[in-house]
Structure formats: C-alpha cells, structure tokens
C-alpha cells in the first residue's frame, strides 16, 4: 500500500487551472464587496453586448481573447459607461513530460481606465486565482 501511495505522490500534478476569464470584484471604501447593477457589457472583439443575469452582482468573470494582447471592457451602469483597458500575454508552461504544456494568460495590467480606483490583485488568470481586478467604488 505504501508503494502505491508513493507512486501517486511522485506523479506530476496535471490539473489545468487555465482560463480566459478575468474576474472583476466591486468594493467599497471599507474594502468589502458591494452590490452593483450592470445593465450591459461591451468587450472589444465581441460583436454584441453582454447582458449579465442577474444584473445586480458583486463580482463577474468576463472572457478575453487569448489570441490578442489587450482588451477594452465597457461596463454600463445605466446610461453611465465605465471603461477599463487591459494588456496581457499568453505564457506556456511545460508541467511535465506526461502532462505536456499548459497555456496561461499572465502579466495582466491596466493600461487605461475611467474608474478612479482600480487595482490588479492577481495578474495571472486561473480558475483558482480569485479576483483579478479590484474596482473600488466611492
């Protein structure tokens, strides 16, 4: 039994946590997540607006194109648009010979924004990364 357990512990971890979704979280000045109402979302490269359901949310994960290196996202709060432009790059990591290579979106940074207080919390997109972009609303 110990030999079987040892074999499991020496195998590489092939879990794929890569994603093309950037997670946004909306915070108040006290650093707590707050509800916001978003009517629609425009993402550069997508021909149609996204309508979130439900419209009231605290965080949202939005798709970005891994074949590009930047994206502009416009969130419509009623008739008030707020825009954030992000730059990123695709990085390939070889996990092991058995697992092969995995591609991750990394080096996420804000290049332009109409939000007054925006911070990158995690610059690598992963299913277990939590919130990538923190937007503090006043």
Q: What is the pLDDT of residues 57-94, one digit of tens each?
A: 999 999 999 999 999 999 999 999 999 999 999 988 78
Parts of the chain with a pLDDT under 70: 1-13
Domain that holds residue 86: 18-136
Asked whether residue 110 is assigned to any structural domain, the reply reads yes
Query: Please, what is the end-to-end C-alpha distance for the chain in angstroms?
Result: 58
Number of domains in the chain: 1
Look at residue 138 in the predicted model and tell me its pLDDT.
79
Residue 9 forms part of a structural domain: no
Contact yes or no for 71/63 (Cβ under 8 A)? no
pTM of the entire predicted model:
0.85
Per the domain annotation, does 82 fall within a domain?
yes
- In a domain, residue 2? The reply is no
Tell me the pairing of strands 80-96 and 70-77. Answer: antiparallel
Burial (0-12, 13-18, 19+ Cβ within 10 Å), 78: exposed
The predicted pLDDT at position 99 comes to 76
**pLDDT computed for residue 13 by the predictor:** 64
């Amino acid at each position: 039994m110990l030999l079987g357990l040892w074999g499991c512990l020496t195998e590489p971890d092939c879990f794929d946590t890569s994603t093309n979704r950037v997670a946004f979280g909306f915070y108040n000045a006290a650093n707590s997540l707050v509800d916001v109402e978003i009517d629609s979302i425009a993402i550069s490269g997508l021909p149609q607006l996204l309508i979130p359901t439900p419209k009231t949310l605290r965080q949202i994960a939005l798709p970005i194109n891994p074949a590009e290196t930047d994206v502009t996202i416009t969130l419509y709060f009623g008739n008030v648009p707020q825009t954030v432009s992000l730059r990123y790059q695709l990085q390939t990591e070889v996990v092991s010979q058995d697992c092969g290579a995995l591609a991750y979106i990394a080096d996420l940074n804000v290049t332009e924004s109409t939000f007054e207080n925006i911070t990158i919390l995690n610059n690598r997109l992963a299913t277990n990364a939590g919130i990538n972009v923190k937007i503090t609303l006043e």
